[in-house]
Amino acid sequence: MQISLDYFRILGVPLQADSDLINQAYEDRLLQLPHEGYSEYGITSRQNLLKVAYDVLKDEESRLEYESSLFTKESQEDIFLETSEEVTVEITNDLLVGALIILYDLGDFELVLRLATPYLEDKNNLEDLTDNKEEIDFIWQDLILTAVLAYLELAREKWQDKEYELAANYLQKSYNLLNQEDLFQPLKKEIKQDLGKLKPYEILELLTRENEIKEDREKALNLLQEILNVRGGIESQKIDDSGLNVDSFLRFIQQIRVYLTAEEQQILFENEAKRPSPAAAYLTAYACLARGFTERKPDLIIKAKNNLISLTIHQDVYLEQSICALLLGQTTEAEFSLSQSKEKDAIARIQEISANSPDLLPGLCVYTEKWLQTEVFPQFKGLRNVDSSLQAYFADEKVQNYLESISPPLISETEVLNESSPSVEVNNISQINYSASNLPISEEENIIDDNRKENQSHITNTQVVEAEEEKQTTSLLVEDELSPSEDLIGFGDFLDAEIETDSEEDTPSVAKSTPRNLSPWYKSPVFVPLIGLIISTAIAFLAVKILFKPKPEPLNIPLSEPLIQLPSPEKELIKENLQNQLTPEKASEIIAGWLNAKQEATGPNYNFIPLNQVLSQTLASVWIANGNALRRINAYRRYEHDIKIQSAEVNPQNTTEAIIKAEVWEKSQYYQNGALKPRFSYEERLLVEYSLVKEGDKWLIQEIKVL
């Protein structure tokens, strides 16, 4: 057969080589053994081909005859490198394996594969190479090894050229060859590891191509899912063949998010959240929120809110819940969730903007617009420049119709009805339209003044860098280009709080606002005092609240009367008697009555009667609404409780008020359509403060607060 080689290349010498150089080259080539794993047949085949070339070139007569057959002009200098593709040499069949090994050594990897493929595709063709049946298996293994090595070298070339998909294709072909014949296990293991290391790079390449192809994106997402499955989830400590540790993998997830659409992220992270995975649930909430706002689909915002509610036992996500409630027009719930948040910097900025308002809605609206524009939209492909105007959002007819259809607000099936996530009053919502565009630019810019130095959530200008280590392991290093100082919450904050063990300060940031029953804001236009315009859409400011804010009445206290009366010995005795009216046993009975009533109201029988025996009218209406919400979706909860009273005190200044502090252990199982839903079940121990009011001879709970 004819092979694209010549004797000079076989020995690795130039055309002008003298006899001494030819002798030395031949000896060196014999000493240079091929890759470990070749059979004696393959090694002998290579040596025999070297000897054929040496025998021709060492003899002057045979060399001249050979050179004349190659070139028309003997004066041509060192041109064999340029003409080698056109020059061939005839070899016997038994020298094919040796020729392939030499071609591999010379770097002609594609030629190796072209010559070996017919035999690899049909093993019967090997009978053309030898009549000895015993040699067939040796030839077969040598051909596979040579092809695998050629694929590996091509993969390395493509890897260096940053053509990661092609590199992965070559690696996969080499792995398939070894896997189907179960040969060369150590080499097979190395290739598998290289395939793993290459996956993150391949994913990035597929997602960042200029000419976007649907199949490329699907392939990238499938590869990412493979990595997640092997690792066991986003937060898993297990390391796959990519070599990425937990921190590097989280950075990689952050890096690729900006190349994924909101819909792609929602599908991906919803699936991951089922493991369960708090980080995936949080990212799902982000994706649903982004889609719900930009696509004007409030039902997706409800889904985002549900995911956040399920996370309250893991992390403080009340600020995000507050934003979701705001976008659903649930202003009372928005303010309540805000009151539970411990995001001190963000709350302080919201309070600053709302300084001249009776509530925190103006600041929350401004913060929401900035948060969407700065922290949420940039994390999704195609959303970076989307307008975050709340005014435009609430003016949309689809949004208005949907919000009207869920008024009064619906407590969703995934809401955790427990002490750590107290429900809010279900009422009509007031008119709002606090927009960043309606505030001075200085205030707008101040929204992102403060820096979360250790919890940056938006990673930009990131790179994947290959790190050469002792065992050539690869990790992804993401370089952060710090954005301007900001106090907006993001995924980085959630991950830091979820994975690290740093403790938070347990201090509430804002006070709970008083529930209000006002007419739905989206049904009738009102005057917008901050911008002096009449808006004919369904969005407006709380004109009544802002323009007709009641003036505080002056304190009517005579100068001769002390502000605080010092208790007399008689009053101390009265106080002691008051304390005896609310013993620890009595307090335990009250709290147990409430927990039993909650179980009745949210259980399969939806029995609301006990609520009125233990709760004030306002709080009872909240839990009646919660029970009805569960009934509408054919869901209910079962509870187990344990109570330990820490203190029970009656207010000596007002004997109809009391405070009970108790340590409550609660286990809740969530059922829907008769099936247990572990994702929305929980078990926790909380320190709870119950505010009581006395009506007649009965103590009723009017407020529940987690400490």
Asked if residue 512 belongs to a domain, the reply is no
Binned at pLDDT 50, 70 and 90, residue 401 comes out as very high
In this prediction, residue 425 carries a pLDDT of 35
Q: Are residues 135 and 207 in the same domain?
A: no
Handedness of CA 227, 228, 234, 240 (dihedral sign): negative
Q: Are residues 174 and 211 in the same domain?
A: no
Alpha carbons 26 and 45: distance in angstroms, whole number: 15
Q: Say whether 354 sits in a helix, a strand or coil.
A: coil
pTM: 0.58
Token pair, residue 413, equals: 């099936």
- Percentage of the chain beyond pLDDT 90 is 48
Asked if residue 119 belongs to a domain, the reply is yes
Write the DSSP symbol of residue 615: B
For residue 401, count other CB atoms closer than 10 A to its CB. 12
In this prediction, residue 496 carries a pLDDT of 53
Query: Phi/psi at 645 (nearest 5 deg)?
Result: -75, 130
In this prediction, residue 548 carries a pLDDT of 28
Q: Are residues 583 and 477 in the same domain?
A: no
Asked if residue 375 belongs to a domain, the reply is yes
Of the residues 479, 499, 519, which one is the last residue of a structural domain? 499
Asked if residue 544 belongs to a domain, the reply is no
Q: Are residues 174 and 242 in the same domain?
A: no
In this prediction, residue 188 carries a pLDDT of 92
Token pair, residue 517, equals: 């029953």
Asked if residue 521 belongs to a domain, the reply is no
Of the residues 438, 469, 499, which one is the last residue of a structural domain? 499
Asked if residue 195 belongs to a domain, the reply is no
Binned at pLDDT 50, 70 and 90, residue 541 comes out as very low
For residue 128, count other CB atoms closer than 10 A to its CB. 12
Of the residues 120, 151, 183, which one is the last residue of a structural domain? 183
Please give the residue that has the higher pLDDT: either 132 or 116. 116
Q: Are residues 467 and 594 in the same domain?
A: no
Mean pLDDT, residues 358-362? 91
Q: Are residues 91 and 222 in the same domain?
A: no
Q: Are residues 222 and 154 in the same domain?
A: no
Hey, what amino acid is at 402?
Y
609-619 pLDDT tens trace:
899 899 998 88
Binned at pLDDT 50, 70 and 90, residue 407 comes out as low
Q: Are residues 239 and 168 in the same domain?
A: no
In Å, how far from its chain's centre is CA 655?
Answer: 52
Alpha carbons 322 and 335: distance in angstroms, whole number: 7
How does the average pLDDT of the chain come out, rounded? 77
Mean pLDDT, residues 473-495? 41
Helices (H) and strands (E) in the chain, counts: 28, 9
User: Domain total for the chain?
Assistant: 3
Q: Is the pLDDT of residue 325 over 50?
A: yes
Please give the residue that has the higher pLDDT: either 435 or 704. 704
120-148 pLDDT tens trace:
998 888 888 888 888 899 999 999 999 99
Q: Are residues 158 and 217 in the same domain?
A: no
In this prediction, residue 518 carries a pLDDT of 31
Please identify which residue in the block is written with the tokens 């101040």: 446
208-251 pLDDT tens trace:
998 888 999 999 999 999 999 999 999 888 888 888 998 899 99
**CA 221, 482, 260 angle in degrees (round to 5)?**
15
From the number of C-beta atoms within 10 Å of its C-beta (0-12, 13-18, 19+), residue 558 rates as: exposed
> Taking Cα atoms as reference points, which of 357, 512, 323, 524 lies closest to residue 430?
524
Q: Are residues 163 and 246 in the same domain?
A: no
Mean pLDDT, residues 629-638? 88
Q: Are residues 89 and 152 in the same domain?
A: yes
- Percentage of the chain beyond pLDDT 70 is 73
Mean pLDDT, residues 334-353? 91
In this prediction, residue 574 carries a pLDDT of 43
501-533 pLDDT tens trace:
333 333 333 333 333 333 333 333 332 333 332
Mean pLDDT, residues 71-78? 48
Mean pLDDT, residues 106-124? 93
In this prediction, residue 577 carries a pLDDT of 52
1-15 pLDDT tens trace:
888 889 999 999 998
Please give the residue that has the higher pLDDT: either 475 or 145. 145
> Taking Cα atoms as reference points, which of 253, 246, 217 lies closest to residue 231?
246
Asked if residue 511 belongs to a domain, the reply is no
Hey, what amino acid is at 315?
Q
Please give the residue that has the higher pLDDT: either 707 or 573. 707
Question: Which CATH number do you get for residue 672?
Answer: 3.10.450.240
Q: Is the pLDDT of residue 478 over 80?
A: no
In this prediction, residue 15 carries a pLDDT of 87
Asked if residue 254 belongs to a domain, the reply is yes
Q: Are residues 334 and 466 in the same domain?
A: yes
Domain that holds residue 639: 569-706
Mean pLDDT, residues 39-50? 94
SS (H, E, C) 65-96: HHHHHHCCCCCCCCCHHHHCCCCCEECCHHHH
In this prediction, residue 216 carries a pLDDT of 94
Q: Is the pLDDT of residue 697 over 80?
A: yes
Binned at pLDDT 50, 70 and 90, residue 491 comes out as low
